[in-house]
Amino acid sequence: MSQDHEHGLPPKSSVSRWFLTTNHKDIGVLYLITALFFLLFGGVLALLFRLELISSGADLLGSMGYNQAVSTHGLLMVFWFISPFAFGFANYVVPLQIGADDLAFPRLNALSYWLYLFSGILMGVSFFQGTTFAGGWTMYAPLNTPAYIPGEGLGATSVVLALIMFTAAVTLGSVNFLTTMYRMRAEGLRMRDIPIFSLSINLTVWMMLFAFAALLAALMILASDHILGTTYFQYSIDGTTMATDADNPGASLLWAHLFWFFGHPEVYIVFFPALGVMAECFQTFTGRRLVGRKWFIISMVLVALQSFVVWMHHMFLTGINLPIKTIFMATTIGISLPFDLMVFSLIYTMAKGRVRFTTPFLFSLGALILFIIGGITGVFLGAIVLDYQFRGTYWVVAHFHYVMVSGATALFGGLYYWYPKITGKMYNERLGKIHFGVYFLGFNLLYFPMFIAWETPRRVFVYPEGLQIWHSMATVGGFILGASFLIMFYNLFVSLWRGEDVGPNPWEYATSAEWAVSSPPPLENFPGIPSYATGKLEFLDDETVAERTESTPGAAAHGHAATDGGTATDGGAVTARAAVTATEMEPAHEVGGEEHASHASFWPFLISLAGFITFLGLSGVRTGSVFYLSLAAVGGLGTFGSLLGMTRELFHAPEMAIAERWPFERVEKMKLGMWTFLASDIVLFGAFIGSYAFVRVAYGWTAWHHDLIPAEHVTMPGLINTYLLLTSSFLVVIAMVAAERESKRGTVAALVGTFALGVGFLINKGLEWQHLFHISTESFPNGWTLSTNIASSTFYLTTGLHGAHVTIGLIICAYMTVRAWNGAYQGDDRAIEYFGLYWHFVDIVWLFLFPLFYIL
């Protein structure tokens, strides 16, 4: 395996390689560079408003300019910089650490990256559509709705759509990483045995899978309020000003709940990878194994679980009652304790070590100290009496920057740590240390004065004269912090040529598998299949593998070369992720090790580009402008076409012949991916249904019927549709049985039946909607449309999301029918099974929606 043997992938010096590559290491590098670009983007915005704050008043940016700068700074740093930066390392390092040759679905991985890049470009474009989003990174309702956005507000819509695109990328990434880590570990590596950085990524993606699904629901609803005219986040629907006699009294708090249900896990999503990097660097540069490793891991698992039950501590002043406040106070304090343990574990890891103050270690140690300060100031916020007064002030700003940017500090350590692995060159150590010194000084000069000036309200440009000295100090600190990166970029750039060549492992006491291969590692990562069966890393040669896969039937069965094919994602269609559904299995090639894996595909780039055009078009369709409408149409067609192209492309991503797969030995890669995706889809629908219940309870559960819903909204269409869907699910099962019995005619007939019933469902729904849109009664003279009231909004949007799932299912069903007609699936019904999983899921969702929207 050498560099000249790249399986159709152009060399790294060629530009086209970077558009084609699906290799995890290349994509890791792309993530790192792109994330650093967004660091500059968000950083320059921060410097702009720090400059504004050097004295009181908005004489530089103007008030809306200032609001835009603080809002987009937050969004860019939290979404487009810190997590993707961490996932640059995750992409590069995790497969190496666990002994895999790539991620489970390489093309999906490329698709995640391109969606991420284009979502960031859309974010950038929003600055040129009048004004961009200016309502704070927390995007509180109803300030986030068009009614309160000055001008046409297209920039704000673009930001919402960019976030949806970003979320699609994250969800695909989560599915991919989970499948990889549960199906492709080196033999002998139990989950608890994988290196701590990989473990932190594992827990991060679990949190991402569920937290981002809730965010996606919030964003889809918000986008619908912007584009389709639903009224979820408007409390006054006819535009009158009122205090409490509202049309939708739950509007504001609905956003807060949805956002923080995502937002608090997001804190750990951001911080966990950093914690993983710190632990790796501490182990390597102290020459000690992580002290209390088991408890360190248990602590992380506890935090990951508990992160979903602390969100209301962001809402202590919204009028929630004392028992709930008490519970959330307890969970909040509870979640801080595991971090104490982790901090002490890192501190004691240094004991009896041989601590070497290299640049990565300096950054890791610095991050630990900053995190200690961030943690202590966080305990203040856990005392509710103090929290009330800190709410909306610089105390919160200073605290979370000490936590989040300490995470970023550790990640910069990671950049120096893995730089020699990625480039094969050593950076300049002296410049690295200078960078750390300037960085650490700038950091504290920037954020510590904020604690002293904590009485300043957040996101204002006016403050008392007495606080000016602290704000000026912070501004100076901000510029020092920013300048420190010039040293880093210079160092890392120049070292690409001038740096010393490094061998596989430049760090004494590094242990994990990425250091056992050359720097940079070859395309296929390892010289043979990695194994820890003897307790130490070994590479099994082809002969051993062949012997073992023959003698153990179980292993041979796992040796299927499945393809990454056909895991279609819509990345850009109306529902940003509903289409992720796996179906196609190219005929499996039986021999594991022999076959060449594919590493190049142009489709992920094309899908994302087309998705970007679609979303850009969608941002302006409500103006009726021909330009935006045609963008949306062209983009939509392009997305569909490129998805089809990717589905039809032959692409081999062989499964490992020998691997540790607990607890999913018997769940194939595609099936596991499908299950994971559906798990996040459950949260998506859960959030929609929860939103419906929330606004309805806020309005008055029973009053809802009398005031908001016309008598013409009857049960019958829903009941008919229930029967249609249930029957269609039954037919999918028959299609599977027919395929198993190799009856081509049966398979085709059952699939056609499924398709027909699904189409019947949609036609029935269309007739029902047409009727309701055009009723003209005394209470509803202008019909019952999406914008009539909150009941109609919830009805159309929730059942519409389900309808979109049905539509996507039907597209796949049609595709499979054609393939079955051509003789596919006979004797191998797995593809039909995966489609069936999706289809049954869509039916089950309907079984919840029908009573909620037609009966109760």
Partner 1 sequence: MAGNMLALTVAVFPLHGGDVRAPSAVFDQIFEVFLLLGTAVGVVVVAYTMYHALKYRDDGGESDPYADKVERPQMGEKPTGGSGGRKVFYSFSISAVIVVSLIAWTYSQLLYIEQGPDPAQTDALEIDVEGYRFGWDFIYPNGHTTNTLYVPQDRVVRLQVTSTDVFHNFGIPELRVKTDAVPGQYTSAWFTANETGTYTAKCYELCGSGHSLMTTEVTVMPQDEYEDWYAQTEGTNETVEGSNETATATETDQRIAADAPALGGAPA
Contacts of 322 (CB under 8 A, 6+ apart): none
Give how many residues touch partner 1 by CB under 8 A.
113
Distance (Å, whole) CA 671 – CA 835 = 10
Q: Residue 565 CB, nearest distance to partner 1 (Å)?
A: 35
Which amino acid type is present at position 331? T
Distance (Å, whole) CA 13 – CA 550 = 41
User: Nearest CA to 707 among 722, 719, 696?
Assistant: 696
Q: Residue 399 CB, nearest distance to partner 1 (Å)?
A: 11
Decide if residue 289 touches partner 1 (CB under 8 A). yes
Site for partner 1 in 389-428 (CB under 8 A): 389, 391-393
Decide if residue 697 touches partner 1 (CB under 8 A). no
Name the residue nearer to partner 1 (CB basis): 74 or 604.
74
Site for partner 1 in 330-369 (CB under 8 A): 333, 336-337, 340-341, 343-345, 347-357, 365, 368-369
Name the residue nearer to partner 1 (CB basis): 505 or 788.
505
Contacts of 136 (CB under 8 A, 6+ apart): 67, 70, 71, 74, 143, 459
Binding residue for partner 1, selected from 295, 479, 730, 773, defined by CB under 8 A: 295
Looking at residue 540, the DSSP 8-state letter turns out to be: E
Decide if residue 148 touches partner 1 (CB under 8 A). yes
Name the residue nearer to partner 1 (CB basis): 235 or 260.
235
Contacts of 747 (CB under 8 A, 6+ apart): 735, 738, 739, 820, 825, 826, 832
Site for partner 1 in 4-43 (CB under 8 A): none
Name the residue nearer to partner 1 (CB basis): 247 or 570.
247
Binding residue for partner 1, selected from 128, 388, 701, 723, defined by CB under 8 A: 388
Decide if residue 294 touches partner 1 (CB under 8 A). yes
Name the residue nearer to partner 1 (CB basis): 388 or 490.
388
Q: Residue 614 CB, nearest distance to partner 1 (Å)?
A: 30
* Per-residue binder mask for partner 1 (CB under 8 A), 739-778, x = binder: ----------------------------------------
Q: Residue 144 CB, nearest distance to partner 1 (Å)?
A: 9
Stretch of 301-309, 380-388, 551-559, 657-665 contacting partner 1, by CB under 8 A = 380-388
Q: Where are the alpha helices (DSSP H) in 572-655?
A: 603-620, 626-648
Name the residue nearer to partner 1 (CB basis): 544 or 625.
544
User: Nearest CA to 407 among 429, 374, 435?
Assistant: 374
Q: Residue 317 CB, nearest distance to partner 1 (Å)?
A: 5
Q: Residue 607 CB, nearest distance to partner 1 (Å)?
A: 36
Name the residue nearer to partner 1 (CB basis): 245 or 778.
245
Q: Residue 824 CB, nearest distance to partner 1 (Å)?
A: 43
Site for partner 1 in 186-225 (CB under 8 A): 188-189, 193-196
Q: Residue 856 CB, nearest distance to partner 1 (Å)?
A: 23
Q: Residue 371 CB, nearest distance to partner 1 (Å)?
A: 10
The distance from CA 462 to its chain's CA centroid, rounded to whole angstroms, is 36
> Angle, nearest 10°, between helix axes 394-423 and 24-52?
150
Site for partner 1 in 649-678 (CB under 8 A): none
Looking at the DSSP bridge assignments, the partners of residue 568 are 581
**C-beta atoms surrounding 720 within 10 Å:** 15
The distance from CA 556 to its chain's CA centroid, rounded to whole angstroms, is 34
| Structural Rg of the chain based on CA atoms | 27
Distance (Å, whole) CA 479 – CA 485 = 10
Please tell me whether the peptide bond between 464 and the residue prior to it is cis, using omega within 30 degrees of 0: no
Name the residue nearer to partner 1 (CB basis): 504 or 710.
504
Name the residue nearer to partner 1 (CB basis): 256 or 832.
256
Site for partner 1 in 58-87 (CB under 8 A): 58, 63-64, 66-67, 71
Name the residue nearer to partner 1 (CB basis): 194 or 674.
194
Q: Residue 339 CB, nearest distance to partner 1 (Å)?
A: 10
> Angle, nearest 10°, between helix axes 468-498 and 394-423?
10
Distance (Å, whole) CA 364 – CA 506 = 18
Name the residue nearer to partner 1 (CB basis): 55 or 764.
55
Q: Residue 82 CB, nearest distance to partner 1 (Å)?
A: 22
- Burial of 348 from C-beta contacts in 10 A (0-12 / 13-18 / 19+): middle
Written as six digits, the tokens of 687 are 């959030």
Looking at residue 357, the DSSP 8-state letter turns out to be: -
CA distances from 161 to 156, 157, 168, 829 (A): 9, 6, 11, 37
- The answer to whether residues 201 and 276 touch, using CB atoms and an 8 Å cutoff, is yes
Binding residue for partner 1, selected from 18, 229, 293, 431, defined by CB under 8 A: 293
Binding residue for partner 1, selected from 28, 95, 135, 407, defined by CB under 8 A: 135
User: Nearest CA to 181 among 162, 207, 201?
Assistant: 201
Site for partner 1 in 483-542 (CB under 8 A): 505, 509-513, 515-516, 532, 535-538
Q: Residue 295 CB, nearest distance to partner 1 (Å)?
A: 7
| Helix, strand or coil, per DSSP, at residue 11 | coil
Binding residue for partner 1, selected from 317, 483, 486, 697, defined by CB under 8 A: 317
Tell me the CA end-to-end span of the chain in Å, nearest whole number. Answer: 64
Site for partner 1 in 150-179 (CB under 8 A): 150
Name the residue nearer to partner 1 (CB basis): 288 or 696.
288
Name the residue nearer to partner 1 (CB basis): 67 or 619.
67
Written as six digits, the tokens of 433 are 């240390």
User: Beta 538-540 vs 529-531: how paired, if at all?
Assistant: antiparallel
Name the residue nearer to partner 1 (CB basis): 457 or 554.
457
* Per-residue binder mask for partner 1 (CB under 8 A), 437-466, x = binder: ------------------x-xxxxxx----
Q: Where are the alpha helices (DSSP H) in 127-250?
A: 154-183, 196-227
User: What's the longest Cα–Cα distance across the chain?
Assistant: 84
Name the residue nearer to partner 1 (CB basis): 342 or 632.
342
Name the residue nearer to partner 1 (CB basis): 526 or 825.
526
Site for partner 1 in 226-255 (CB under 8 A): 235-236, 241-244, 246, 248-253
User: Nearest CA to 555 among 593, 524, 513, 528?
Assistant: 593
Looking at the DSSP bridge assignments, the partners of residue 540 are 529
Binding residue for partner 1, selected from 141, 203, 540, 811, defined by CB under 8 A: 141
Please tell me whether the peptide bond between 323 and the residue prior to it is cis, using omega within 30 degrees of 0: no
Name the residue nearer to partner 1 (CB basis): 332 or 721.
332
Stretch of 387-395, 408-416, 419-427, 438-446 contacting partner 1, by CB under 8 A = 387-395
* Per-residue binder mask for partner 1 (CB under 8 A), 115-134, x = binder: -------------------x
Q: Residue 303 CB, nearest distance to partner 1 (Å)?
A: 14
Binding residue for partner 1, selected from 124, 130, 229, 292, defined by CB under 8 A: 292
Name the residue nearer to partner 1 (CB basis): 698 or 808.
698
Decide if residue 286 touches partner 1 (CB under 8 A). yes
> Angle, nearest 10°, between helix axes 429-452 and 359-382?
10
Written as six digits, the tokens of 549 are 């896969």
- The answer to whether residues 461 and 63 touch, using CB atoms and an 8 Å cutoff, is yes
User: Nearest CA to 180 among 588, 590, 564, 534?
Assistant: 564
Written as six digits, the tokens of 700 are 């008055």
- The answer to whether residues 171 and 84 touch, using CB atoms and an 8 Å cutoff, is no
Which amino acid type is present at position 469? I
